[in-house]
Amino acid sequence: MIQVTALNKVYTVPKRGEGLWGSLRSIFSREVEEVRAVADLSFSIEAGERVGFLGPNGAGKTTTLKMLAGLLVPSSGERVVAGFDPSKRDPAFLRRITLVMGQKQQLLWDLPPIETFALNRALFGLEEAQAKRTQDELIQLLELEPLLNRPVRNLSLGERMKCELAAALLHRPDVLFLDEPTIGLDVRAQVAVRRFIAEWNERSGATVLLTSHYMADIAALCPRVIVIAGGALRYDGPLKDLAERYGGGRKVVVRTREEAPETLGPFVREDGALVARLPSAEVAAAVDFALRQVAVADLSIEEPPLEDVLSKLFAERT
């Protein structure tokens, strides 16, 4: 559904010196520097996949999404989305995709959301009966009924984002580019948006490429992640393998009835408990070993926090 090959984007940014002298000098000699936002990026995504697109601030995530949606032209490289070259912004292509940007809203600010829905139905030339059915489905899934007739400016951020998602999906696109769809939302709204995205993906079979700084979004939604840093690919694969490869393994914590020894097989004593960090494959054997060697009061196996895994990955080679 999405095919990206050796994609590059280089921005030319004006350079300006500090202070008054710097400002004056920039009038006469305009210095520019090239910033490589995306570097030789290649990946492909199958129809119906939900993929998390991760990276630190300025990694090139939004630039990549904009190139895939056709808002930005790459400096070089190829990308094909739903069989189209996005640069042309062919109406047939625009009917098959949607881009939701957390901070750039398409809702009509002073009118109720129902008016934006009517506008989008008209702009996309949707068949009225089918569009109404989709609209009703979205209203029910996102629980929008009480919000439909209130001016958008009177809605909370979370309510607006839910309406934004509905407006963006009325034309039932096959590809969803979601750029920080939960940014600034409270925990309840985040959960609602997350649940909706998963359910919509299952119902419609749409492909989802999602960026988020909230790891809970990624953990809940994306079996596969693509990680970029400095515009270049750092990791592309299953989320669970990411933790395995970069998280230093799972943490097994054994609390004993009596005082724990300093070391025990793969375990060392930390804060009075026996702790071992192990690859998944070795966890069962270690637990079995501990159960046989000491009187166990409590036992836990923890996944490394995704935030830690990613920090480690971002720090590597950047």
Partner 1 sequence: MFRAFPTLLRIGLAEAVAYRAELVIWVLTATAPLISMFIWDRVAEEGPLGGWGQGEMARYFLLALIVRHITSAWVVWELNENIRTGSLSPMLLRPMHPLVFFVAQNLSAMPLRAVILAPLIVGVLWWRPELLWTPEPWTIALGLVSAVFAWAIAFAAQVIFGSLAFFSQQSLGLFNVYFGLWSLGSGYLFPLELAPDWLRQVLLWLPFRATLATPVELLAGLVAWEDALGLVAAQVVWAVVFVGLAAMTWNLGVKRHEAVGA
Residues that bind partner 1 (CB under 8 A): 11-12, 63, 66, 69-73, 87, 89, 91, 94-95, 97-99, 101, 104-106, 108, 110-111, 115, 118-125, 151
Q: Which two tokens stand for residue 269?
A: 């004593």
The residue among 95 and 312 lying less far from partner 1, judged by its C-beta, is 95
Least distance from C-beta 233 to partner 1, angstroms?
21
The residue among 63 and 190 lying less far from partner 1, judged by its C-beta, is 63
Least distance from C-beta 294 to partner 1, angstroms?
59
Least distance from C-beta 38 to partner 1, angstroms?
12
Least distance from C-beta 62 to partner 1, angstroms?
9
Least distance from C-beta 180 to partner 1, angstroms?
14
The residue among 118 and 253 lying less far from partner 1, judged by its C-beta, is 118
Least distance from C-beta 209 to partner 1, angstroms?
15
The residue among 26 and 106 lying less far from partner 1, judged by its C-beta, is 106
Q: How many CB atoms lie within 10 A of CB 258?
A: 8
The residue among 105 and 280 lying less far from partner 1, judged by its C-beta, is 105
Least distance from C-beta 111 to partner 1, angstroms?
6
The residue among 70 and 247 lying less far from partner 1, judged by its C-beta, is 70
The residue among 87 and 204 lying less far from partner 1, judged by its C-beta, is 87
Q: What is the 3-state secondary structure (H, E, C) of 173-196?
A: CCEEEEECCCCCCCHHHHHHHHHH
